[in-house]
Structure formats: structure tokens, C-alpha cells
Amino acid sequence: MKEVSRYANILDIDEPIIHKNMAVAHLIGVDSGLDYYTLDGALRAGLKINESGNVPTLHFTNGSGKEVLIIQGEYVRGGMQNRMIENNIFMTKGFDNKVAVKCVQAGRWGYQPGRTSEYTPSEKRASPAVYRAAMHGQGAVWSEVDKLSMNLCASSETRDLDEVTEKRKDNIDEYVNRFSVRENAVGLVVAVNKNGKLFLGTDIFDQSKTLKENYKKIIESYALEAINSGSNVELSRESARSFLANLENCDYQIRNPVSLGIDARLTKGNELEGSVLSYDGRPLYINLASKISISPGGIINPRYQTGFRRTWI
């Protein structure tokens, strides 16, 4: 997938902005011109998400009239329990099928008063550690949500990722308000000092409109890794360019796409991992980051075991 590194190489890198232990460098590029919805816009325009009957999938019906780009780690609220999208998806118009998801609310399996099986947008994305845990199974996702809750000192009766992040909204907003999307930016390189270790990540889209629509949730996602974990960080244009150069040396594992395009997992030894979704010979979304140590999964907190039906994958 040479188009991935070629695309990254032509992007200009803006001067990084630094706040406490998090730095953001904007990547400036040229738009692809494709016309599609992002997840939150599609949900307002006719995309429907409903229960499929078990934990690992939800049923998507795309009546929005456009293709829809969904990025790994976005999550939705409602139904029997809040769920996180497992893979990057470029969803065709008229799509009507099940999509793989992971539960991010271990202590609820039932409709809330006045709610139906239909889901609403959360307008949020899980932290990198939580959405990366998806490839290790449902238990690993629950473990990472629990670990995040402990790190943020924010509890939830139903072990709900959404409630945990809401309880630290003021701290998250402190980071969000220090960074604003640059004109013509199509992506970001982000550095976080996480307990003395440098965590690097990049999120790159095919056009500036898509970055703008996802900007807040991406910054919030990285901020979840930054809160309570460090005091300062360094990032330069040169170090950002050096990080992007890793895309040329990654191993690409092609996977079956959920809908349109080519979906691949990226790895570089024990250092980096990520994903790319391409369509018509051009990357729609690229994600690459430092590897994260994922907590072992499969053990549910005993206080939540009784009375909840689980389907494992």
C-alpha cells in the first residue's frame, strides 16, 4: 500500500502547539473532493443503528443518502448497552447489515426507561488504549475501561466509558480548548508524555472537512491518555516528519472490509500499530501510534456478574 506513505510524504507540517504534556502538529494537505457523511452527521441524516440481539454486533441501516466514514473507537449510546465501533468503515449507501462492535458499558444489559433499541450519537471516541483493546477481545476492552476509570479517578455504577469521561469533562475541555483546527489541515500528529514515556499518534483523513468534524473527539481521545499522566512534552516538525516516515516501513495486513474500500492493519515490530482504510487508490483514514500495553481481559468485576447476559467473541 505505497499510496499510504506517498500521501503522508506530501503533507506539510505546521508548527506544533503544546499544552502541558500534550502537543499537536497539524498536517496540511489537499482535499480528495469525496462527498460523504461522518458518523454523527449520518445519524442525523437517516443512518439507523439498532440492537441485533447480542453484544458483538449492532444492525446498521444507511438511509442517509451518502456513503458514511466511521473510524475505529467511535461509540454510540442507547439500546441495551453503549457500544464502540470495532473497525474503520466506509459504508455504502443503502447498507443494511450487522457491524462488529464492542461493549463499553459492562454493567448494563437492558433498555433504559423510555429508550428503544435505536442508538444515538455520543459524539465521542474512546481513548487509544480502549479502542486498541478491541483486537484482543471484549474482556480486554472492559479491562481498559476499568483501568481508564481508575487513572481518571472517575467511577461508574455500570462501568460506562461515557459516564467516566463525562465526570472528567472539565479536565478534558482544558486540553480541547487549547487546540483549534488549522485551515486546510487534514490530519494531526499528537505527542503525549504518559507517565514519563512518550506516546505518539497520527490521524490523517482525505480532506479537511472530515478532520474538522472529527477534531474535537480526536483531541478528547488523546486527552484521556494525557490527564494525570505527565507535566511536559516536546514535539518538533522534524520529529513529526520522522514519525510519519514509519508508514513506509510498516507491515500491512489486509482484512475483509465491512463495506467499501481496502481495510488494513499496520504494525512495525513491537513499536507501532494502527490501521488504514483506502478507497479508489487513496487513503480515507490513516491511524498509527505507539503500541500500548493492553490489560489482560476476560475477568468481569464480580459486583457486575449477576443478572447480565454476555455473548463473547
C-alpha cell at 195: 507517565
The span from the CA of 91 to the CA of 32, in Å, is 17
Residues of the chain with pLDDT under 70: 297-313
Q: Is 149 helix (H, G, I), strand (E, B) or coil?
A: helix
Q: Is 288 helix (H, G, I), strand (E, B) or coil?
A: strand
End-to-end alpha carbon distance in the chain: 30
pLDDT tens digit sequence for 86-120: 999 999 999 999 999 999 999 999 987 777 789 99
Inter-CA distances, 307 with 60, 244, 253, 281, 302, Å: 28, 47, 39, 48, 11
